[in-house]
Homo-oligomer: A and B are copies of this chain.
Amino acid sequence: MTEEKTTEPVVTRKDLARVARRNIFGLQLGWNYEKMQGLGYCYTVLPILKKLYKDDPDKMKAALQNHLGFFNTTPAMSHLIVGANTALEEKLKGSDQDAVTGLKTGLMGPFAGVGDTLFVAIYRTLVFSIAAYLALQGQAVGLLIPLIAGFVILYIRYKFTFIGYNQGQRLTTEFGGQLKNLTEAAAILGLTVIGALIPAVIKPVIPLAFNIGKVKLDFQTLLNQIIPGIIPIAIVLFSYWLLGKKKMTSTRLLFILLAIGIILGNLANIVKLF
């Protein structure tokens, strides 16, 4: 299918579909600290290996060992690599396992960068923040958002296997550029939503009021006259700033926020102490 191939293809649409399904289901089942997704990767491409090397035990052994090697990338992006790998494997027929390894290890790094940003960070922000926002308003219907989006992603993953197979080694250039653009646009959308999420879901009630003469000044109401949501954004920006500090971990930040919450919640009583 790619211009690099000379003989007629042995890998069928059905084979690719099968690989795509295995990729979705099996890539991470055997995840471990040594080879990470290596075991799952070998599992994923097994149908191709069987087809190509069924009658050649030596090549089969070599291929198995090769594909059990270290592999790690964003699952959604792995389909592109598996597809490209299949096309190359079909062309080389085991003659050059180093080329195959080169393809895999060359792509997995950059694809993890783009993929984790787009398919993990931004994607989850968009679907789960809106769903969680609706949940906090008591509406379960929002859970349909990640569910439907999840099926869309599954479809994209499925397609990615074929795109990888057809594009072969040109993946990084053309397709990569498109993904970069998409990531940028998605980041804009994601940041807009994140900004909105802050006043929408962070809603502390701070029980603090001053009596000046006969007028009762509620601290929070006063601050909101500058801009509503000023307390939530202050807490977030403070957290963001803390995370930039050395030695700050998300777990430590969690305890800091717990402490702040306990203090704010008891502020009225604390003030009375003085």
Contacts and interface: CB of A to CB of B under 8 A. Distances in A.
Contacts of A222: 139, 141
A192 B181 CA distance: 25
Contact of A137 (B134, B137, B141, B225): B225
Interface in A217-232: 222, 225-226
Contact of A139 (B134, B141, B225): B225
When all copies of this chain in the complex are counted, the total is 3
A222 B137 CA distance: 11
A103 to B, nearest CB: 42
A141 B137 CA distance: 34
A226 B140 CA distance: 12
A88 B141 CA distance: 69
Interface string A124-159: 000000000010010101000000000000000000
Contacts of A137: 225
Interface residues of A, number: 7
A210 to B, nearest CB: 13
A141 B226 CA distance: 10
Interface in A223-250: 225-226
A134 B223 CA distance: 12
Contacts of A225: 134, 137, 139
A137 B134 CA distance: 33
Interface string A175-188: 00000000000000
A126 to B, nearest CB: 15
Interface string A51-90: 0000000000000000000000000000000000000000
A137 B222 CA distance: 11
Q: Among A134, A139, A222, A225, which residue has the most Cβ atoms of chain B within 10 A? A: A225
Nearest to A130: B226
A137 B141 CA distance: 34
A57 to B, nearest CB: 57
Contacts of A141: 222
A181 B139 CA distance: 46
Interface string A106-136: 0000000000000000000000000000100
A225 B136 CA distance: 13
A139 B225 CA distance: 9
A129 to B, nearest CB: 14
A134 B226 CA distance: 8
6 contacts: A134-B225, A134-B226, A137-B225, A139-B222, A139-B225, A141-B222
What are the nearest 6 A-B pairs in CB distance?
A139-B225, A137-B225, A134-B225, A134-B226, A141-B222, A139-B222
